[in-house]
Chain A
C-alpha cells in the first residue's frame, strides 16, 4: 500500500512540473505581450515601452525567464502579477474557496443526479424512464455550459425571477452555476453508471443471487450497484478535474469569484506569473484528487492492489 502511495506521489510531482513547463512555453510563444495590454501603444514612445518591458523582466531571454520562474517556484514564491503587482499566491488562496464551493456543489449534483438516473435507466432498460434518462444524459454532455448557463439565467432569473443571475455571495447565487456545471457532469455519470450497471446485471453472480431467492431490491442495490460503482469512482476523480476546468467558463458567465475567473483574465492580459500560479495550483489540486481516488480505488477493490504489487 505504501509503495502505491509513494509511486503515485512521485508521478504526481512529475505531472505538476511538466504541466507548468508546458504552460510556460505555450504562453511564451503565443503572440501578444503584456506591455501592449497595459498601455495604449499609440500614445507611448518606443523608449518608454522598452523601459517598461525591462522593468517587468519580459525582455530577458526565454531560458532566463524559465529558470527564474522555476527557482522562485521552488522557494514557494508564486511571484507578483505583472499587471497590478499583486502577489499571486494570496490572490489564489483568497479565490479558491469560491471555486471549491462551486466544484463541490456541482459534483454533488452531478453524482446524485447521475447515479440515480443511471441506476434507474439500467433497471428499467428501454422503458420511458430509460429513454428520458438517456436524453438528459445526452443533453448534459452535448450542451456547452456557456450556452446552458445563459439559458438558466434567462429562465430562472429574467423570466421567473427566482434566483440571481450573477454574483458569489450566499447559496442563492450558487444554485444556477452549480446546476449548470452539475448537469454536465451528470451527463457523463448517467452513461457510465448505466453501462456498468447493465454489465454487472448480466454477470453470473447476479443470476446466482436471484436463484438463491434474494429480494430483487437487495440484488440491485446491495450487490449490483456496489459493483457497478467501482469504475464510476475513478470516473468521478476525472470528473472533478473536468469540473475545475469548467469553472473557467461558469465563473465568467455567472460573474462569480474564483480561480477560473482569475486565469481567464490573466490569459487575456498575458499576465504570465498569474497564469502560471493558477495552473500550478490547479495541477496540484487535480493530481492530489486523482491520487486520492486511485489510492481509495485500490482500497475498495482488492484486485487492483494485487495487480500493482
Chain B
C-alpha cells in the first residue's frame, strides 16, 4: 500500500517542480519567436485583413471559428444592450439599413438608396427586395418600421438604442419596399447612426413571439443565424446560407465562409491569452498592452489592432465657478503644459496605444491631424502661467493664494479600466512639479460623484461613436434645466458651431466646421485628450479575412480558416 502512495507522492512532487519552472519556460518561448508582420500593420488603417500572408491562398469554406470575448453580452436584442461586447455578436446576426465605410462615407446595405427632404427632417429609403430574415420572415418596410418603433416603445427599455435613434419620431410605409422616416429636428448624424448595429433590423415575427426574451432568441437578416447561448460559456451562430446582401465594408457579398462562430466568454485575461496560445480558441479579443508585445513575437499568432472612432479617452475640466481656479483659462493651460501625455501613454501602454491630440479620434469624420504635436510639455510656461494668476509656491512646494492651496480634484472610476487609475497617479506626480496638489478620488460610484454631484475638477471619459456630432453632449451648453455636460462649457460661439455641424449636409463644409470645433476646444484648454482606444485581437495564423469596421467591431463575412 505504501508503495502505491509513494508513486502518488512523486507525481505531486513533479507537479510542484513544474509549478516552479513554469515562469522560465514561457519567458524563453517569447524571446525565441520572430517578429510578426501582420500585427504591426494593424494599427494603421481602419479595416485590415488578418493574416496578410495567407491572403493569397484561396479562402477555404467551412470550419468553426472560436472567438473569445472578454465579457458576456447581457442581451442579443440590439435595442436592449448598450455593451460593446454585445455589438460584436450583433454584427453577425443583424444588418443595418446603411453601412459606414472607413472613410466615413455612407453606403447602401439593406437600403439601396435614399433621399433627404429639403428641411432635413425626413429620410426616404428604398429597400432591397431580395432579403429575408433567418426565420423566413420577408424583410420589408413593415420590418423597418417595427424595428424602430419598437426602440421608441418605453416597454422595450431601449436605453442606448433610443439615444442613438434620436431625433427619430415616426415612420410612414410608402409601399412594401419604401419607407419614410420622420425626424423631430434635422440631424446629419442620423444616417451614420443608422449604420450602427444597435439600430439593426429585427425580425418582427420573432420579436413579437419572443417578447421579453427576444434577447435570448435573436433573429435578424445577418450573415450568421443564432444557434444557442449557454450562459457564461458561449454563444454560437451558424452560416446563413441565403445571405447575399453584404455591404461594401466586406468583399464577400454572399454567404460567409465559416460554418459556425463560437463566441466563448473568457473574462480572465490570463486564461484568454492561454487559450489562444494553446490553440484552444482561434482568436481572443481585448489583449492588454503588456501581452500585445509578447504575443506579437509568438510565431504561431498574429495581433490585429484597430483604433475605435468617436471620442478618445479625454480628461474634462469642470469649468463652473465653484471649481475655481479651473474655470480660468490660464490655470487650465498651465495643466496642459505641465502634463506630459506622451510619456504617460508610452509608459503605460508600451507603444500599443496612440496618444490623442483632439477631442475626436483619428478615425472619426472631421478629425484634424494638424492638432498633432501642437502642444508640447513646457514646465516653465506652466509655472509662469500660475505665477501670473498669483499662485505662489509655499514651503511644501504646493502653490497658495489667499491662504488657499492649489488643489485639483481628480475623479476616476473603479475598477482600473485600461489603467486609467494609473494615468491619474502619474498626472498627480507630474503636476506636483509645478506646485499643484492633485487629490485623486477613485470611486465605484461615478454615477453619483460625477453625474449627480458633479464633484470633480477633472474627470475622464470616452465614447465610441460614428459621428462627430457626439461632441454635442460633451461640449454644448445645455438648457438651464437639462443635465449639464462633463466640461460645463458655456461658449456661445462653440455652441453655434456644434449646432451647424449637426445639420450641415455638405461634407466639405461640415468638415471645416468640426476642424474649428476641435481647435476651439483645445485652445480653450477645456480638456486633456489622452489616448485612442484600439480594439485588439490576437488570433492563430490559420485565420484570415477578419475585418473591422471603424467603430472597432469585427466583421466575419470574409473570415476563413486555412484547411489542413
Contact = CB atoms under 8 A, between A and B. Distances in A.
B75 A166 contact: no
Interface residues of A, number: 62
B505 interface: no
Contact of B265 (A159, A253, A255): A255
A290 B372 CA distance: 66
Contact of A113 (B12, B22, B74): B12
Query: For chain A, what secondary structure do more than half of its interface residues adopt (helix, strand, loop), or is it mixed?
Result: helix
B138 interface: no
B237 to A, nearest CB: 18
A153 B270 contact: yes
Given A44-B163, A161-B279, A164-B280, A94 B231 contact: yes
Given A42-B486, A265-B232, A157 B274 contact: yes
Determine which residue in B26, B154, B266 has the highest number of CB atoms from chain A within 10 A of its CB, and name it. Answer: B266
A129 B9 contact: yes
Contact of B267 (A38, A116, A255): A255
Contacts of A167: 233, 264, 280
Contact of A166 (B213, B215, B280): B280
Contacts of A95: 231-232
A148 B82 CA distance: 35
Nearest to B463: A42
Given A51-B154, A252-B267, A83 B74 contact: yes
A116 B274 contact: no
Interface string A28-47: 00011100101111111110
Interface string A182-200: 0000000000000000000
A262 B271 CA distance: 18
Determine which residue in A40, A113, A133, A148 has the highest number of CB atoms from chain B within 10 A of its CB, and name it. Answer: A40
A215 B72 CA distance: 60
B268 interface: yes
A150 B232 CA distance: 19
Contacts of B443: 31
Contacts of A132: 9, 13
Nearest to A38: B159
Given A116-B5, A136-B12, A161-B279, A154 B82 contact: no
Contacts of A38: 74, 82, 159
A127 to B, nearest CB: 12
Interface of A: 31-33, 36, 38-46, 48, 51-52, 55, 83-86, 91, 94-95, 113, 116-117, 120, 129, 132-133, 135-136, 139, 148, 150-151, 153-155, 157-159, 161, 164-168, 217, 251-258, 261-262, 265, 269
Given A132-B9, A166-B271, 14 more contacts: A32-B445, A36-B447, A38-B159, A48-B162, A52-B157, A52-B159, A83-B74, A139-B16, A154-B22, A165-B274, A165-B275, A166-B266, A167-B264, A265-B72
